[in-house]
Structure 1
Amino acid sequence: MKKILALGLTAALSLSLLAGCGGGTGTPAETGSAGTDAPAAETGSGTSGSVYYLNFKPEQDAQWQELAEIYTEETGVPVKVVTAASGTYETMLTSEMAKDDAPTMFQVNGPVGLNSWKDYCYDLSGSALYGELTSDDYALKNGDEVAGIAYVIESYGIIVNQTLLQQAGYTVEDIQSFDDLKAVAEDITARKDELGFSAFTSAGMDSSSDWRFKTHLANLPIYFEYQDKGITSTDAIEGTYLDNYRNIWDLYINNATCDPAELTAKTANDAVNEFTSGQAVFYQNGSWEYGNVVGEGKLSDADVTMIPIYIGVGDEANQGLCTGSENYWCVNKNASAEDIQATLDFMYWCVTDETALQAMTGGEGAMPSGGAGMAFAIPFKAAPESSNPFVALDAQMTADGKTPVSWNFTTMPSEEWKNVLGSALAVYAADQTDANWDAVVSAFVDNWAAEYALANG
């Protein structure tokens, strides 16, 4: 979510991991923006525009490039996909939006991001794409306008190599709380040399990996504080559960494949390689990581499962995975009418065409090229069930009465807030003193209030 430099402070504040798209008001091309009951315009039928999609997810770059080529071959409409490197989306979006050839299709992560980008978001409320949503809950709104549409629902937790866990003498049924997780992890650490593996993968704190902890792990204390107060956002977080945040962070970094002082040099690739090569039992990540841990030369479906991230709060026996979306498609209302229409047609094709749907929801061999699909769960009427077992696991947990943990990190005040928190976590990891943890608390609580105060004038 960054936009033109003129967005100033608001833009800086909305740098939330994904980007936030704001509701837009433009109504350029009426064709293809018909009411939800009206048929969508045929993709490519007479459309003279083009599509430029700035993609947030580097792990799905290959699939989007292939889909873009297929669509262009079928319709003659040029589709360019550019993918930002991990942790750089905000910066890249701001830079690209300042150009004459700006993205026509981009992403935001929720309400905070929307606050920065709302002046660039085309109103999708009359689009055929909006009519394909299975629930209005997946629409990101700016007043009466639909500024963005969630295109994937994801879950994250702790991915478990249950084959190694069994070698250590446990099953996932033995882990139903933070205390259980701590006991198992510390026992594995005590027998590390005997077992030949560690409890956790490295918690890398470079930009390719630190989002797992300054954003996704940090969601847990935010979620439980919001639950206590019955709110969905706040200008002043109290940090009620930051001791619990410290406990889970200590568990990760002190029972891992490397010394905590080495974390600033560890990357996302290090963590996934440690996991797939059998060096660690536990790996915090999400359903989007399925294709990176399962497949030829990796692990099998039988090897892996996912458990909730327990931090010692709430009804842990009935806690589910962290489930939600920070991936909202938005259309640049400042693009030409032809490009807006071309983009609306492409998005509609993505969620209704059989080949595109298979690419988005399928796993191994789902792409026309024979490559793996995106294995997404997508909230559209024509979508088949995702082939991703982590997605199925989340659905089963919910059916069994476990409560999913909602994604509240989209209310974090800015990307800068996350970066300051991440730096404090890394310093603490290298020297685990109370004074250094106090700096983490200050980064979490004081910076939250300060950034919201600046944003609110």
Structure 2
Amino acid sequence: MKKRFLSVAVGVLAVSAMLAGCGSGAAKSDGGADTQKSAAESKSDESKSDTATASGDALRLINGKIEIDAQLKKAAEKFKEKTGQEVVIESLGGGVDIQGQIKSYKAADNMPDIFVIGGDGDYANWTDMVADLSDTEFAKNTDFAYKDKATGKVVGFPYAVEGYGITYNADILEKAGIDPASLKNYDAFKAAFEKLDSMKDELGIQAVASVAAEAGQMYWSTGNHIFGYYYTGGLERGDNKYFDMAMKGELDDARLAEFADMTELLFKYADPQVLVSGTYDDQLALWAQGKTAFITQGNWIDPSLPTYNVTFKAGLLPLAFTKSDMTRILADCPSWWCVYKDGKNVEGAKAFLDFLATDPDAQEILVKEAGMISPYTNSTIEPETPLAVSLKKYVDAGETSSWAWSNMPEGLAQNALGLVFDSFAKGSITKDNFVTMMKSTMADYIANNKK
């Protein structure tokens, strides 16, 4: 893609050169945590062996949420027990180019029956190839289904509601005399971070926060999730005014300045090694082992907590970067599953999705074992994992904001925004440079990627 160079500091010029050299090929999925493979969460190459041993009559589902691989396979076994229909779960993660992989399947005439999309950017690849799911049972029981904007037809199955902001270790905060309920704005977070930093030895922590900003593997966390708060943080559901501005190549100066302040705060009080070179595993382990008070991840880390023998209390807070109070947390579907309309068993694929949404055994697995919140009004299963329980309080109270970032153009986080966060984390650019570069990078990417 073409990028114009920025006439600011030398460090800025260096990063702009990186941006100028971005390839324009298929980007990795920007589905955030869906794309990540934790060593504590999954076995290597499971999806390959599953595909190789699948019978010719089996349904095949491409899942981008690697941390629920085992639970999905358990649900698939339940479905087979009840219907006789085999379903093979092929989970992709660890930085895999999910959309590129699905495109390669299409080119090889090897499309799965069910495949994942992360939002409008991904859906644009498959608009003419998805089955209409409007007549399904699941579609009658949720407000979170993905709909084709032109036709209004339901085309995407929502398997969960997830939420994120900043996750805290309640035991550490209690020991420091900090009430998490008081952390509603930037000034409150700043005071809390400073206090925690001054008490590191007493609290036995290594840093205040576990943050990872290395662009190669963690662009989804910075360019999608953290920057997602700029788009819709604190806004009512469906209010996308700042996102709509961004998709025209424009960012709001005052809001971006506040966001930059919070980003600087997170980076200043993060563990420096994890910040600039850490993987998702590194980031999670640091917090789960009680070495930081905060982590910039969401309730999808719940299934991993037993692996680290986590016993401390934990909860979620909005990433309240504004001077005014922010009480809404970002919560939405992390991605959706579509049915390939020319597949060998479209009705069977629909039946499996209905099973996941309506069968009590399936909902038990997805909610209690996978640690997710059901998007289905007919489900009576309550979550039990700590962060899902915390998130559900926001959902039940109507204190949530939408995930507008999932509708960004494909590759925006990976090929552009993540690189700017990376440079800021490494100290290559200043906070003022960060603001300038975010504005110019957004404008350039949107201008050069118009459909």
- 1:448 matched residue in structure 2: 442
Name 2:384's counterpart in structure 1: 387
Among 247, 259, 263, the residue aligned to 1:249: 263
The 5 Å alignment of 1:234-383 reads 234=245, 235-240=247-252, 241-259=255-273, 263-293=275-305, 295=306, 297-300=308-311, 303-316=313-326, 319-336=327-344, 339-362=345-368, 373-383=369-379
1:60-79 equivalence runs, <5 A: 60-79=68-87
Partners of 2:397 and 2:370 in 1: CA distance: 26
2:160 pairs with one of 152, 158, 165: 152
Q: Report the alpha carbon displacement of residue 110 of structure 1 after superposing the two structures with TM.
A: 2.1
Q: Deviations over 1:50-97 (max 9, x none)?
A: 311000101111112222233334433231111111332223222223
SS at match of 1:62: helix
The amino acid that maps onto 1:353 is D
CA distance in 2, matches of 1:404, 1:101: 39
Kindly report structure 1 stretches of 4+ aligned residues shifted beyond 4 Å: 9-15, 224-232, 398-401
- 408, 411, 431: which one aligns with 1:412: 408
Inter-CA distance 417–273: structure 2 relative to 1 (3 Å threshold): closer
TM (normalized to structure 2)?
Answer: 0.79
- Residue in structure 2 matched with residue 40 of structure 1 by the alignment: none
> Which moves more between the two structures, 276-285 or 225-234?
225-234
Quote how far apart the aligned CAs of 1:179 are. Answer: 0.8
Give the equivalent residue in structure 2 for 1:433: 429
Classify 1:129/1:231 alpha carbon distance in 2 versus 1 (closer, same or farther; 3 Å). Answer: same
**Deviation per residue, 1:327-359 (Å, 9 max, x gap):** 2121011212xx212211111111222221110
For residues 184 and 443 of structure 2, what CA distance do their matches in structure 1 show?
Answer: 34
Q: 1:123 to 1:49 in 2, by over 3 A?
A: farther
Q: What is the one-letter code of the residue matched to 1:406?
A: S
Instruction: Supply the distance in 2 between the matched residues of 1:333 and 1:340 (Cα, whole angstroms).
Output: 6
C-alpha distance 117-225 of structure 1, shift in aligned 2 (>3 A): farther
C-alpha distance 209-312 of structure 1, shift in aligned 2 (>3 A): same
- Select the residue among 170, 177, 184 that pairs with 1:169: 177
| Partner residue of 1:138 out of 134, 145, 151 | 145
- CA displacement at 1:230 relative to structure 2: 4.2
SS at match of 1:147: strand
- Counterpart for residue 221 of structure 1: 230
Q: Deviations over 1:156-177 (max 9, x none)?
A: 1211111111222322134222
2:95 matches 1:87: yes
The answer for unaligned runs of 5 or more in structure 2 is 1-22, 35-55
Tell me the amino acid that sits aligned with residue 440 of structure 2.
D
2: CA distance between counterparts of 1:206 and 1:454?
21
Offset, 1:111:
2.4
Residue type of the alignment partner of 1:390: L
CA 1:170–1:128 in 2, change beyond 3 Å: closer, same or farther? Answer: closer
1:86-135 CA distance string (max 9 Å, x none): 3322232222232322111012122232222212211111233323x233
Q: Cα RMSD between the aligned structures?
A: 3.1
Of residues 79-88 and 214-223 in structure 1, the stretch that sits farther from structure 2 once superposed is 79-88
Are 2:50 and 1:56 aligned? Answer: no
Uncovered stretches (5+) of structure 1, i.e. residues with no partner: 1-8, 21-47, 363-372
Letter in 2 for 1:307: L
> What is the count of residue pairs matched by the alignment?
399
Relative to 1, partners in 2 of residues 1:17 and 1:274: Cα closer, same or farther, differing over 3 Å? same
SS of the residue corresponding to residue 384 of structure 2 reads: coil
AA paired with 2:112?
P
